């Protein structure tokens, strides 16, 4: 997504939320397919993470609150990874 047009997406989000969400979902699904590299299990796992993320974010209207939720999920995942690493290394 090297040609990301912030103004376009910002305007779309402010003027046509339904279209914004449809286009956003399309791009996310396309990215998931691309990074899954044809591995259906991997695509299923990544799609599940996205569903979980969308469900959590749907509770909030404020973009800063949404960012905080994503940040918290990321930190939690990193903590889990760190714990697993410590378990393997001990």
Tokens 């040609």 belong to 3
Question: Hey, which bits of 1-90 come out as E strands?
Answer: none
Dist. CA 54–CA 70, nearest whole Å: 10
Q: Examine the pLDDT at 1 and tell me if it is beyond 80.
A: no
pLDDT digits (tens, 9 = 90+) for 5-54: 999 999 999 999 999 999 999 999 999 999 999 999 999 999 999 999 99
The CA angle 2-48-67, to the nearest 5 degrees, is: 55
Q: What is the pTM of this model?
A: 0.71
Tokens 């591995």 belong to 39
Tokens 């914004």 belong to 20
Kindly list the distances between the CA atom of residue 78 and the CA atoms of 20, 67, 75, 89, in Å, as whole numbers in the listed order: 30, 16, 5, 16
- Decide if 66 contacts 49 (C-beta within 8 A): no
């Amino acid at each position: 997504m090297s040609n990301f047009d912030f103004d376009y997406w910002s305007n779309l989000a402010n003027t046509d939320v339904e279209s914004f969400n449809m286009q956003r979902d399309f791009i996310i699904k396309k990215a998931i397919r691309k990074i899954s590299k044809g591995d259906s299990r991997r695509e299923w796992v990544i799609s599940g993470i996205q569903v979980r993320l969308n469900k959590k974010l749907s509770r909030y209207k404020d973009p800063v609150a949404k960012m905080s939720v994503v940040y918290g999920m990321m930190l939690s995942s990193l903590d889990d990874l760190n714990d697993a690493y410590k378990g393997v290394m001990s």
